[in-house]
Amino acid sequence: MDTSLNKYIWIHTQNQKKNKREEWFSGHVTRSVGNGKHTLFWSDVWLSGVSFRERFSRFYDLSLFKDKSVFDMCQLGWGEEGEAWRWRQRLFAWEEEVVGELMLLLHNVILQVDKDDKWFWTLDSSNAFTVRRAYNFMTFQHPIALPVVASSLWHKDVPLKVVLFAWRLFHDRLPTKDNLLHHGVIDHDSRMCVAGCGLTELSHHLFLHCHVFGSVWHLIYRWLDIATVVTPRFSNNVNNTSNQSIQRKTECHTTFKT
């Protein structure tokens, strides 16, 4: 578990540095501190549910030891008059009081020298990370539709009929059986998907998740050499695909330029 999770965390961290993507992953892993040698004191979330960098941002900015581990800071001494509290400038009286709050949080922390630091996955009771569980979380959570930038639709090289079709799709204005049902055109028994999969013919089902028509997306992603998860909302998939395509074009341009 720990090896695959650490690998996934590393990949996520690299993507985060490049694109500053949404924080869905980091919000569901926690750090269990053993000896503290592989946990950053200021930046990692290891105590009180939020990083000290975020909670005590003023002291992070002033600290001379921004990149020290929990182990290193403990060795320096994080008690009163400890060497861990060395700043770029003298603190004000009110700041000294807030440092006292930070020291109070650390008062009962005891490092376990014989144990390594570990990541734990909070979306499973076993705390074991699996790609399946992460995939299920990403695809079956309550969908949040991200707006599609208008400029991505209205392009001079795209035929007008394709633009209009895409606009109607994003706004759920296509004559799917679910829409026809709501407008009284067909009865309830006729609402099932035309592919015969037994599910209601909704726009996002028909174009994304139907085992017949939705599978086309996997071929498109393979053709574009893009690794992604098909989300419940069509607009989100277009945004994800567009962002990765732009990034890939930029990488290719940089490669040819160099």
Does residue 120 sit in the same domain as residue 37?
yes
Does residue 155 sit in the same domain as residue 225?
yes
Alpha-carbon Rg for the chain in angstroms: 25
Q: Does residue 145 lie within any of the structural domains?
A: no
Does residue 6 sit in the same domain as residue 77?
yes
Reported as a pLDDT band with limits 50, 70 and 90, residue 28 is confident
* Separation CA 254–CA 258 (nearest Å): 6
Range 90-105 average pLDDT: 90
First to last CA, the chain: 40
Give the per-residue pLDDT at 16: 47
Does residue 127 sit in the same domain as residue 249?
no
Maximum Cα–Cα distance across the chain:
78
* Separation CA 163–CA 154 (nearest Å): 6
User: Looking at the 3D structure of the chain, how many domains does it have?
Assistant: 2
Range 135-153 average pLDDT: 58
Instruction: State the pTM of this model.
Output: 0.47
DSSP state of 145: P
Reported as a pLDDT band with limits 50, 70 and 90, residue 30 is confident
Give the per-residue pLDDT at 217: 75
> Which of the two residues, 199 and 241, has the higher pLDDT score?
199
Contacts of 5 (CB under 8 A, 6+ apart): 29, 119, 121, 129
> Which of the two residues, 254 and 189, has the higher pLDDT score?
189
**Domain range for residue 183?**
150-257
Give the per-residue pLDDT at 164: 83
